[in-house]
C-alpha cells in the first residue's frame, strides 16, 4: 500500500473517530450522569407528518410528562418515539398513569426509559479500535522502514 493510501486511510479513521465522539456525546452523558424517576403522563398522542428520508410519512408517539427530580424541582418534558415503542406504564396511588424517565441532574433534558440511541456509541468503539490498529500499523511500518534504512547504510 502506498504512503498516500495509508495517509488517506488514517485520515478517514480519524474523521470517523471525531464524528462518532460528537455523535455519541449525548448518549455518553446519559450513561455517565443520569438519574431515573417516575413521571406522570400529562398527555400522550400520535403525531403525523414526520417525513422519512425516502419521503414517506411516519407517525410518531408523543408522550408529555411531569416529574420531580432528586432536588425537588418539578420538570416538564416530552419525548417523541416510534409508534411501535411500548413504554412501561404504571398507575400511581392516585390512579394516574406514570412512565419511567431518565434525566440529567441540573438540566431540564430528559427522555423515556428504553429509548437509548447506542448507534453512535458502537461507532465510537469501532473507530477507537480502528484508530488503535492504525497506530500499531504505522509504528510497525516505521520500525520496518528503520530496519531497511539501517541495512542499506550498512553496505555503503
pLDDT in tens, 81-140: 888 888 888 888 888 889 999 999 888 889 999 888 888 889 889 988 988 888 888 888
Q: Which of 115, 116, 117, 112 is nearest to 67 (CA)?
A: 112
- Residue 47: which H helix or E strand, with range? strand 35-51
Question: Residue 152: inside a domain, yes or no?
Answer: no
CA distance 154 to 147: 10
Question: Residue 19: inside a domain, yes or no?
Answer: yes
Question: Residue 142: inside a domain, yes or no?
Answer: no
Q: Which of 26, 32, 41, 19 is nearest to 128 (CA)?
A: 19
**pLDDT at position 52:** 66
Question: Residue 80: inside a domain, yes or no?
Answer: yes
The DSSP string of 64-94 is EEEEE-TTS-EEEEEEEEETT----EEE-TT
Lowest mean pLDDT among 11-25, 48-62, 125-139: 48-62
Strand partners, 103: 35, 110
Of residues 57 and 12, the one with the higher pLDDT is 12
State the helix-helix crossing angle for 3-32 and 119-154, rounded to 10 degrees.
Answer: 150
Q: What is the pTM of this model?
A: 0.66
CA 120 to each of CA 26, 51, 141: distance values in angstroms, whole numbers, following the listed order = 10, 22, 31
Q: Please give the residue range of the domain that contains residue 33.
A: 3-132
Question: Residue 62: inside a domain, yes or no?
Answer: yes
Question: Residue 144: inside a domain, yes or no?
Answer: no
CA 61 to each of CA 15, 41, 58, 114, 118: distance values in angstroms, whole numbers, following the listed order = 35, 13, 10, 14, 20
pLDDT (mean) for 49-64: 77
Residues 6+ apart with CB under 8 A from 78: 62, 63, 64, 65
Question: Residue 141: inside a domain, yes or no?
Answer: no
When the pLDDT of each residue in the chain is averaged and rounded to a whole number, the result is 86
Instruction: Give the total number of structural domains in the chain.
Output: 1
Q: pLDDT band at 145, cuts 50/70/90?
A: confident
Instruction: Examine the pLDDT at 37 and tell me if it is beyond 90.
Output: yes
Question: Residue 145: inside a domain, yes or no?
Answer: no
**pLDDT at position 50:** 61
Q: Which residue is it, cell 416529574?
A: 67
Amino acid at each position: 500500500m502506498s504512503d498516500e493510501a495509508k495517509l488517506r486511510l488514517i485520515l478517514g479513521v480519524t474523521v470517523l473517530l471525531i464524528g462518532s465522539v460528537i455523535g455519541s456525546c449525548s448518549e455518553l452523558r446519559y450513561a455517565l450522569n443520569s438519574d431515573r424517576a417516575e413521571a406522570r403522563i400529562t398527555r400522550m398522542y400520535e403525531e403525523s407528518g414526520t417525513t422519512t428520508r425516502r419521503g414517506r410519512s411516519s407517525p410518531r408517539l408523543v408522550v408529555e410528562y411531569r416529574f420531580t427530580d432528586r432536588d425537588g424541582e418539578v420538570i416538564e418534558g416530552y419525548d417523541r418515539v416510534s409508534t411501535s415503542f411500548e413504554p412501561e406504564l404504571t398507575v400511581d396511588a392516585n390512579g394516574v398513569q406514570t412512565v419511567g424517565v431518565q434525566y440529567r441532574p441540573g438540566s431540564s433534558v430528559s427522555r423515556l426509559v428504553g429509548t437509548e440511541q447506542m448507534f453512535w456509541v458502537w461507532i465510537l468503539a469501532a473507530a477507537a479500535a480502528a484508530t488503535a490498529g492504525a497506530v500499531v500499523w504505522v509504528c510497525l511500518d516505521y520500525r520496518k522502514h528503520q530496519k531497511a534504512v539501517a541495512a542499506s547504510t550498512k553496505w555503503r
